[in-house]
Structure 1
């Protein structure tokens, strides 16, 4: 499979991880926040001055379709309230728990949304190749090139044409842990994979399940397990092998991928180390929603939970985040002490199916710093947008993620499943990982996914 760029890997300094573990903040609740102007300065007496470039489209409506629902969707809508007030453009938002299927149906019906927030660059590519997307041109392209690095823009580029602009990002491989339990036992943040496995065994010896795991997510069931494979492969084999695997330059079941899966499976498939957080077995893991598994960390069901930085949005309001609080986090460690720590990221990309002037204004706004700062101030959200002021991001986890994303020397590797053809990345990889956790042999599962990789 040909891709327009290399994926996203943020090289993470462990000192930053320790700083997160030592810090303490509360999980943010949504609150009224005025959108920040493009310069990051106050808007002065006229709160609409920062939105002058988007005006002239009063009384119009732009539909926005997204996989984001619940409290996170409410924060999206709150974040652009000033934009709608100042421009007169109404953003009609709809979230779906079956986004990948539904967007395909809407396109086939000839009734796509004006704008969509797409979580997979592979899906962006597929839509662009079908000829149903409006290119990101004019003010959209100008805003995007001013605020995102070429490596990020490459994810939305197909055949040298920019179709999708980055919106947000989540740093994967954050190990959330029960800070009370760590303090009680004097456990410390592991710095290598061996230390992580030793810590897991030590936790198990106390009678506490080390890892909470849940992979149920509706039609997307299985995706949390794909993150484990990607994180371990990147750490064990480095970015070159990771890139080759994502691009299908090496087989999906390459021996190095098999070894990475086995390393992850040594935790995930060991009933002494991993469970659903409620005493359940592998079947319970497959049937437990990932959000529920995470919440069981706070209920004493386990000590560790591997999810993304964005999982901070799922902690109950008032949860103290930090080593002195209720929960804290550290990045999955490198395989060896000599290796540079690395992580994988995910995110949403903005595409347009219509090219009306008001749609272009919305897309340009979503690519600019006004939106990025307004949304970030509401909490549990970060972006690779260079106009985002990290100092205005609430929460230790989010600030660490923002600093990593904006580091001038950061090399980013995007979530592999989101870059693969949808038949694999949002199909056989998800279902295969479910079968794998239920006991199927590693080599058999990966071989079946390889066999089903679509022909060019």
Structure 2
């Protein structure tokens, strides 16, 4: 039932971000120190306990093939993070990055020539790969680490038909609102901790004659996806995680009252002429403005708030201070109350197609707090939901914020809903109808049209 569209949408977002200056923004956030990290595998191995791999036997001279969509230059910190494992065990990790990963991994699995390990960026694709019969269940050591270091929500995404296959790897947070700390301080605004406070803040800003929000859902052929993220975030907040899960699985219809209510709640922001679109135009300009450009209005003083994922940091130009007291920063999009913490986001999962000892050892390493911290030391713009990840090892403030959100014991993490819906919905009807909705179509027509497009079994 699942299409391959989810991760391609993520690539659209990342590609847009990269096109606006990822290197510059990471430098502003503290810089990607991966190139400055020691290249010595002796040094890397000395930093970890090699005895943890002894139960897997003598692995010297073995090779593990790894296949992923992560390509140059983002692959450099990944490769560095394996150095300690390679030195400890004598295993060589053969890394292969491919922009066509999402289609090619299925082709290779069905042909009986899969890699030893793959980084799978969406639960739907994971299910399809398991269905080929070529994937193998995760070893007990990995399952134990999943229980120890990750929440039940995360482990469930790596489980298919009651069997655990894949531990989480990296993660991203979409439930963020970007703002200017300096602007908030100057004007006496405080970061909201509930949805009611968010509405009150928006009203307070609007009362000054300013437009509190700037938004853009333009993304070429993928126009509309930022609006679907808004809706998903509000389904989580207004209807709850259990209803969200039913909605994504189509156990309740797309035009159910709870979903209609979430659209209307989003409309209270994005279709409100008093709230949008700061520095850009009227409500309809939300559809014609690219998601990359919209939040830049914060730095121009034309708006105060922009809801977008953690990766949005890449859109700010060189020299922008992205920090808690800087030019721009972000806060968690609050829930109904200060203790409820629904989190919308994405991530990758480590799926194996072989059960040799060296493959199990590599899976084990990637599921540990050891690897998460090694990766953090050589990366910027990366975070994990691993509870053993030490915040002090993260390199920039947005990574720190994301990790704190993911590690919050009250966090209820849910994967991007449209990424798990059939492609006819997630990358077609949901995007297109949300765009029509922004430009004037009513909510009832919108949700009815999406429901009518849901593929019949």
Q: 1:108: Cα distance to partner? A: 6.0
Q: Summarize the alignment of residues 211-360 of structure 1 with structure 2, pairs less than 5 Å apart.
A: 211-217=213-219, 220-270=222-272, 273-275=275-277, 279=280, 285-286=286-287, 288-300=289-301, 302-312=303-313, 315-316=316-317, 319-335=320-336, 340-355=340-355, 358-360=358-360
Q: Summarize deviations over 1:132-181 as a string: whole Å, max 9, x none.
A: 43332365445444433444222111112222211122233211102232
**354-363 vs 223-232, which moves further:** 354-363
Contact 1:43–1:49 (CA under 8 A) maintained in structure 2: no
CA distance change for structure 1 residues 338 and 307 in 2, over 3 Å: closer, same or farther? closer
Contact 2:322–2:397 (CA under 8 A) maintained in structure 1: yes
Q: Summarize deviations over 1:48-97 as a string: whole Å, max 9, x none.
A: 8378558725473623222x56765444344334445664524424253x
TM-score of the two chains, using structure 1 as the length reference:
0.77
- Secondary structure of residue in 2 paired with 1:231: helix
Q: CA separation in 2, counterparts of 1:384 and 1:123?
A: 20
2:32 corresponds to which of 27, 30, 33: 30
Q: Summarize the alignment of residues 111-150 of structure 1 with structure 2, pairs less than 5 Å apart.
A: 112-137=114-139, 139-150=141-152
CA distance change for structure 1 residues 184 and 165 in 2, over 3 Å: closer, same or farther? same
Q: Summarize deviations over 1:372-420 as a string: whole Å, max 9, x none.
A: 1122232333222233223333444433433343344544333333444
Q: Summarize deviations over 1:88-127 as a string: whole Å, max 9, x none.
A: 524424253x664555555567665543333321222233
TM-score of the two chains, using structure 2 as the length reference:
0.77
Contact 1:171–1:346 (CA under 8 A) maintained in structure 2: yes
**144-153 vs 164-173, which moves further:** 144-153
Q: How many residues align?
A: 425
Q: CA separation in 1, counterparts of 2:346 and 2:217?
A: 17
**124-133 vs 351-360, which moves further:** 351-360
* Pair 1:441-2:446 in alignment: no
Q: 1:192: Cα distance to partner? A: 3.9
Contact 2:150–2:387 (CA under 8 A) maintained in structure 1: yes
Partner of 2:429: 428
* Pair 1:368-2:368 in alignment: yes
Q: CA separation in 2, counterparts of 1:240 and 1:99?
A: 31
Q: Summarize deviations over 1:5-42 as a string: whole Å, max 9, x none.
A: xxxxxxxxxxxxxxxxxxxx96131114469x9xxxx9
- Secondary structure of residue in 2 paired with 1:372: helix
Q: Summarize deviations over 1:293-319 as a string: whole Å, max 9, x none.
A: 344534545322212345445555654
1:56 corresponds to which of 52, 55, 59: 59
Contact 2:341–2:410 (CA under 8 A) maintained in structure 1: no
Aligned CA RMSD, in angstroms, stands at 3.9
Q: CA separation in 1, counterparts of 2:266 and 2:407?
A: 29
Contact 2:31–2:396 (CA under 8 A) maintained in structure 1: no
CA distance change for structure 1 residues 257 and 99 in 2, over 3 Å: closer, same or farther? farther
Q: Summarize the alignment of residues 67-86 of structure 1 with structure 2, pairs less than 5 Å apart.
A: 68=70, 72-84=74-86
CA distance change for structure 1 residues 208 and 383 in 2, over 3 Å: closer, same or farther? same
Gaps of 5+ in 1: 3-24
Q: CA separation in 2, counterparts of 1:117 and 1:45?
A: 27
Q: Summarize deviations over 1:271-303 as a string: whole Å, max 9, x none.
A: 55334x762667764465534434453454532
Contact 1:366–1:372 (CA under 8 A) maintained in structure 2: yes
Q: Which has the higher helix share?
A: 2
